[in-house]
């Protein structure tokens, strides 16, 4: 019989310490003893589950095409951006490739241009002719001071998703709505107290007054923004003030909007209100349609979509909300290989078609748009080919200029919107105060470090 060459009884201090020592040695072996896989290794960090699942299926194809290449996919979920920040601060441990969310990228752009932890991808994009193949306005969220730090994963055009049955019941044909003025007129008919108890039972639209999401989408549609291309604060421009006045009026003057139920549009509470027929329309980016399909499948066939109402006849019928980029970090030791992985995951047509199939996300690569899947009728929208609508709107996406102070600005913008909608400040006061605060913040940094 096999016997351990150690007598546990005679081990100093007995069995317990011996077991602890053995466990310690085993875990040390696991931590330090893992041999690197042979060949070229690349690390790719992801924060979104749906993206992770897509790459899990796609990356083995790339590895098969490139023997000796190992791409390690790591999904850190919501904490990924913090981990990336720590890795860049310590100049150690960052991945070769990483996906970054649109509201998080600003913090990585602070400081001198050479301190930014991402590789400028403009030279590669231009030399290989990719700029013309993608929707150019979609590079703006990932560019700063002339450099392009990321490739867009998506476009996220926004449409107006509406309950055709309930609008028709109120005598409104939504396909005839072209401008926001038309929408207000339609909304006043559709916002109703159905049982006569003095309380409104259905609202024409649900809007988020807690955060910048809906207001900022409307502002982008108007051609405005928080910062302009040069990084100037323009959130107190007349355009921004007019947009907030309009946004506020939807709640308080026209009374056709209800605040989002729960904490955001994807809250179960909001879905419950939709199912109860309390919400008749919503501004929906492509990814939100994917969420609706998976979270509220029982509403299949009840929604229809049109382009967003324009601010003026013939004006832009869409905006953009949300987004992800893929970037290459300066800690990447094999940029050429990383670039190949990047192109495979972001520019490969079969992969992009598969992405639309699972998430409804429209790719920024224009040559993929003629794939038959985008013209297919969408059962969830009663047979309407939603992909076709998104692609028709996509070339008209407004630019969204990125800035290192976006996070601070957005945090304060949330408060300004809430203050305006709840009547604590007028839209002009709220946005003027906000702009002053952000300008003061920037001026303080410029005073300390000088212009960067």
Q: Which residues would be at the binding site for other proteins (CB under 8 A)?
A: 81-82, 85, 88-89, 91, 104, 107, 110-112, 115-117, 209-211, 259-264, 267-270, 272-273, 276, 278, 404, 407-408, 411, 414-415, 418-419, 422, 445, 448-449, 452
The CB-of-452 to other proteins minimum distance in angstroms stands at 7
Which is nearer to other proteins, 58 or 107 (by Cβ)?
A: 107
Which is nearer to other proteins, 91 or 294 (by Cβ)?
A: 91
The CB-of-77 to other proteins minimum distance in angstroms stands at 11
The CB-of-192 to other proteins minimum distance in angstroms stands at 17
Which is nearer to other proteins, 108 or 183 (by Cβ)?
A: 108
Residue 259 exposure: Cα atoms within 13 Å on the Cβ side: 12
Which is nearer to other proteins, 61 or 452 (by Cβ)?
A: 452
SS3 265: coil
Q: Are 383 and 76 in contact (CB under 8 A)?
A: no
Which is nearer to other proteins, 56 or 422 (by Cβ)?
A: 422
How many degrees, rounded to 5, is the angle at CA 262 between CA 215 and CA 100?
A: 60
The CB-of-298 to other proteins minimum distance in angstroms stands at 14
378 φ/ψ sector (left φ>0, alpha ψ -120 to 50, else beta): beta
Which is nearer to other proteins, 105 or 389 (by Cβ)?
A: 105
For strands 205-207 and 257-259, give the pairing.
Answer: parallel
Q: What angle do the packed helices 268-275 and 286-295 form, to 10 degrees? A: 80
Which is nearer to other proteins, 259 or 315 (by Cβ)?
A: 259
Which own/partner pairs from 82-88 qualify as long-range (CB within 8 Å, at least 24 positions apart)? 83/45, 84/45, 84/108, 87/331, 88/117, 88/329
The CB-of-138 to other proteins minimum distance in angstroms stands at 24
The CB-of-211 to other proteins minimum distance in angstroms stands at 6
Report H helices in 296-426. Answer: 335-347, 349-359, 386-393, 406-421
The CB-of-60 to other proteins minimum distance in angstroms stands at 32
The C-alpha atoms of residue 57 and residue 341 are separated, in whole angstroms, by 14
Which is nearer to other proteins, 41 or 295 (by Cβ)?
A: 295
The CB-of-105 to other proteins minimum distance in angstroms stands at 12
Q: Are 328 and 121 in contact (CB under 8 A)?
A: yes
* Residue 21 φ/ψ, nearest 5 degrees: -65, -45
The CB-of-252 to other proteins minimum distance in angstroms stands at 16
CA 198 to chain centre: 39
Q: Are 329 and 119 in contact (CB under 8 A)?
A: yes
The C-alpha atoms of residue 265 and residue 213 are separated, in whole angstroms, by 10
Which is nearer to other proteins, 375 or 444 (by Cβ)?
A: 444
**Nearest residue to 354 (alpha-carbon basis) of 53, 134, 77:** 53
Which is nearer to other proteins, 261 or 303 (by Cβ)?
A: 261
Q: What angle do the packed helices 427-449 and 238-252 form, to 10 degrees? A: 140
User: 154-180 burial by CB neighbour count: b if 16+ within 10 A, else e?
Assistant: bbbbbbbbbbbebbeebebebeebbbb
The CB-of-95 to other proteins minimum distance in angstroms stands at 16
The C-alpha atoms of residue 345 and residue 33 are separated, in whole angstroms, by 31
Q: Are 89 and 429 in contact (CB under 8 A)?
A: no
The CB-of-422 to other proteins minimum distance in angstroms stands at 8
Which is nearer to other proteins, 226 or 261 (by Cβ)?
A: 261
Q: How far lies 190's CA from each of 202, 204, 207, 217, 269, in Å?
A: 7, 6, 16, 23, 21
């Amino acid at each position: 019989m096999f016997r351990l060459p150690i007598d546990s009884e005679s081990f100093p201090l007995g069995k317990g310490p011996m077991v602890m020592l053995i466990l310690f040695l085993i875990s040390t072996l696991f931590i330090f003893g893992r041999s690197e896989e042979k060949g070229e290794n690349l690390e790719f960090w992801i924060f979104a589950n749906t993206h992770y699942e897509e790459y899990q299926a796609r990356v083995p194809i790339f590895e098969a095409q490139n023997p000796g290449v190992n791409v390690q996919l790591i999904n850190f979920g919501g904490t990924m951006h913090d981990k990336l920040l720590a890795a860049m601060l310590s100049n150690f441990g960052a991945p070769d490739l990483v996906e970054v969310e649109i509201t998080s990228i600003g913090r990585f752009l602070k400081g001198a241009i050479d301190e930014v932890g991402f590789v400028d991808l403009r030279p590669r994009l231009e030399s290989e002719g990719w700029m013309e193949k993608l929707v150019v306005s979609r590079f703006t969220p990932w560019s700063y001071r002339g450099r392009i730090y990321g490739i867009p994963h998506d476009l996220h055009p926004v449409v107006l998703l509406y309950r055709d049955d309930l609008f028709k019941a109120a005598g409104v044909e939504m396909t005839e709505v072209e401008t926001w003025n038309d929408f207000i007129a339609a909304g006043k008919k559709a916002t109703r107290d159905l049982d006569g108890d003095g309380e409104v039972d259905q609202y024409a639209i649900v809007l988020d007054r807690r955060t910048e999401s809906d207001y900022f989408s409307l502002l982008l549609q108007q051609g405005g923004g928080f910062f302009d291309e040069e990084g100037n604060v323009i959130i107190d421009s007349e355009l921004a003030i007019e947009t907030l006045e309009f946004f506020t009026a939807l709640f308080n003057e026209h009374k056709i909007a209800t605040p989002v139920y729960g904490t955001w549009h994807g809250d179960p509470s909001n879905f419950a209100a939709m199912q109860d027929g309390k919400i008749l329309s919503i501004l929906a980016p492509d990814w939100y349609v994917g969420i609706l399909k998976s979270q509220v499948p029982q509403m299949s066939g009840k929604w229809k979509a049109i382009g967003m109402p324009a601010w003026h006849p013939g004006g832009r019928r869409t905006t953009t909300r949300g987004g992800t980029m893929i970037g290459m970090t300066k800690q990447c030791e094999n940029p050429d290989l990383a670039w190949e992985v990047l192109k495979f995951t972001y520019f490969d047509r079969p992969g992009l078609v598969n992405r639309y199939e699972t998430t409804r996300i429209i790719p920024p690569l224009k040559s993929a748009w003629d794939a038959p899947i985008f013209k297919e009728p969408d059962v969830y929208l009663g047979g309407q080919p939603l992909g076709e609508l998104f692609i028709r709107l996509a070339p008209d996406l407004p630019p969204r200029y990125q800035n290192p102070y976006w996070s601070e600005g957005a945090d304060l913008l949330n408060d300004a919107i809430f203050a305006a909608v709840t009547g604590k400040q007028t839209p002009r006061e709220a946005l003027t105060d906000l702009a002053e605060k952000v300008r003061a913040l920037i001026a303080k940094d410029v005073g300390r470090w000088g212009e960067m």
